[in-house]
Structure 1
Amino acid sequence: MKTRITELLGIDYPVIQGGMAWVADYHLAAAVSEAGGLGLIGAGGMPADLVREQIKQCKALTDKPFGVNIMLLNPDADAIAQAIVDMGVKVVTTGAGSPEKYMSMWKEAGVKVIPVVASVALAKRMERYGADAVVAEGTESGGHIGELTTMVLVPQVVDAVNIPVIAAGGIGDGRGMAAAFMLGASGVQMGTRFLLATETNIHQNYKDRVAKASDIDTQVTGRTTGHPVRILRNAMSRQYLKLEKDGASFEELEHLTLGGLRKAVVDGDVKNGSVMAGQIAGLVDKQQTCAQIICEVVDEAKQVMRERSVLFG
């Protein structure tokens, strides 16, 4: 399956794995890349030394292209940005800020830069600063979200920029991939689907909670603070939303979620931790290898597009 994204990144399939903090380690990134997609190490709040070690370990497992996702609010962002160059990483995706200050350094080193955007304005700005592509991520996604849905965001971004667009948010199977192509995207990014990959080293309780999720099981916390986060409903989310409704302070709300993602991912506390997942969680119910996931999604997308081409001539 060749698209502008596979040609840009040198991968077999236009499937990018989301750079999920505490989830996307070198095991997952290497497995996705070995399967023909683009694996990402989710730097999240990691210190730079740990990111360097993750990159080293990923290189030991695959010689295929892989990347690093940098959360630009990370206090170590400057050092991580330099590590990308020093260790020869070929792709970087960014979130929680603008990567403009690192663009020259990365471009000179031949790094492909793909910011995650939630609006047309940011997509156009990133193109002006030299981004090679953008991930247009709709509000259906898990974790930190914007307001626009994938269905309305992707085509508007496609129309606004000349660089390739990767669709993200609410994509978990071949039908979603085919829909993304119809909207003009050149590839897809999936996070929630890979939560159940056998190579994903998260607590089994987390995987089980995602597998059992229904279509209405996600909630968004933090809308009043300006930092909305999509998670699966549990005791913590119910308490958070009650506090929000009662006008709790930002500090009180932050204290409730402090360390919540680690609590869910590492400790398996899916009642009091932040079980981040997208709205597509209701569709994700089986554990598979990364290779099986990618092959199934790509094969289904091809089949759907063949059927529709026959249907509509």
Structure 2
Amino acid sequence: MTTICEMLGIEYPIFQGAMARIATADIASAVSNAGGLGIIASGGMTADQLRAEIQKCKSLTKKPFAVNLMLMMKNCPELVDVVIEEGVKVVTTGAGTPKPFMPKFKEAGVKVIPVVASVKHAQKMEALGADAIVAEGTEAGGHVGETTTMCLVPQVVSAVNIPVLGAGGVGDGRGVVAMYSMGAQGIQVGTLFLSAEECPVPATFKQAVLDADDTATVVTGRRNGAPVRSIKNKMLAKFQELENNNASRDELEELSLGSLSKAVYEGDVENGSVMAGQITGMVNDIRPAREIIESLFKDAEEILGSLKITY
């Protein structure tokens, strides 16, 4: 089987998570320049905005980078056309099936790597012609499934014949080793990159991540079938209260409307949505993306070299 690094022409087997409204050309180019796969999150963008971000990323790096497509978006066909026209050769996908676009992607030589939260979906994506899979456990930040990474990754690896990357729960080299021990060929990391110097979020957002501990996150939206993991705050406490009292979808949407923008653009970490994973307690400082990546794999190699199983 071709390794993910060989397939994509990257140095380190690490994808930067496609964090909505955060994963712009700034962080994507930094990750790609450091040897990983930077990813531009197109969620919420117009076709013109995505084209501008792609062109900016091209100006900042000559290395491979990807675009993430949220397939439920109404303008997804336009975004697909932009990706192909701009010559982007890798897409990751979520929130739907890439089936309608696979012929276009294949014809253009675009590698398609869906993010999935179950074995069933992984198998469906392989059958459609996906080139690799990101198996994301519920420990991750943002939109999540139900199955933990430790349970999900080995089952997906056993169920498909294409490369699998593990996501959710990687905070240091130990997490990298764990992913490889379960059969993954690499990792996708989001929360760690929130603390990257190049991550374009306000200082208050980064500080909220640095201040968070192992119990700082909560999943809301499970009752409505749209679970999201974020750092606890005043807005989420109210959201949970409404959920527990069986509030209507309209009431919940009224409270949370624009909450991601409040956190990402305004730095309001009490009334905004600070999406982050359960490894927040392992994020303790702000570093360049290159240092984050290099330390992850250096530590992983040292841990692997010293690992001994005794009975």
TM-score by length of 1: 0.97
Give the whole-Å Cα distance in 2 for the aligned partners of 1:159 and 1:184: 8
Which residue does 2:63 correspond to in 1? Answer: 64
Structure 1 stretches of 4+ with a deviation exceeding 2 A read: none
Give the whole-Å Cα distance in 2 for the aligned partners of 1:5 and 1:173: 20
Which residue does 1:73 correspond to in 2? Answer: 72
Instruction: Give the superposition deviation at 1:236.
Output: 0.5
Choose 188-197 or 248-257, whichever is displaced more.
Answer: 248-257
Letter in 2 for 1:200: C
Matched, 1:162 2:177: no
Which residue does 1:187 correspond to in 2? Answer: 186
Give the whole-Å Cα distance in 2 for the aligned partners of 1:222 and 1:235: 16
Letter in 2 for 1:279: Q
How do 1:201-240 and structure 2 match up within 5 A?
201-240=200-239
Give the whole-Å Cα distance in 1 for the aligned partners of 2:284 and 2:76: 35
How do 1:1-313 and structure 2 match up within 5 A?
4-308=3-307
Letter in 1 for 2:152: L
Give secondary structure in 1 for the equivalent of 2:161: coil
Letter in 1 for 2:128: Y
Give the whole-Å Cα distance in 1 for the aligned partners of 2:31 and 2:109: 22
Give the whole-Å Cα distance in 1 for the aligned partners of 2:66 and 2:200: 18
Give the whole-Å Cα distance in 1 for the aligned partners of 2:254 and 2:97: 26
Letter in 2 for 1:153: L
Name structure 1 gaps, 5 residues minimum: none
Give the whole-Å Cα distance in 2 for the aligned partners of 1:124 and 1:143: 23
User: How many residue pairs get matched?
Assistant: 311
Give the whole-Å Cα distance in 2 for the aligned partners of 1:258 and 1:176: 34
Name structure 2 gaps, 5 residues minimum: none
Instruction: Give the superposition deviation at 1:76.
Output: 1.3
Identity %: 53
Give the whole-Å Cα distance in 1 for the aligned partners of 2:8 and 2:254: 40
Instruction: Give the superposition deviation at 1:311.
Output: 5.3
Give secondary structure in 2 for the equivalent of 1:266: helix
Give secondary structure in 2 for the equivalent of 1:189: strand
Give the whole-Å Cα distance in 2 for the aligned partners of 1:86 and 1:206: 34
Letter in 1 for 2:26: H
Instruction: Give the superposition deviation at 1:44.
Output: 1.2
Give secondary structure in 1 for the equivalent of 2:226: coil
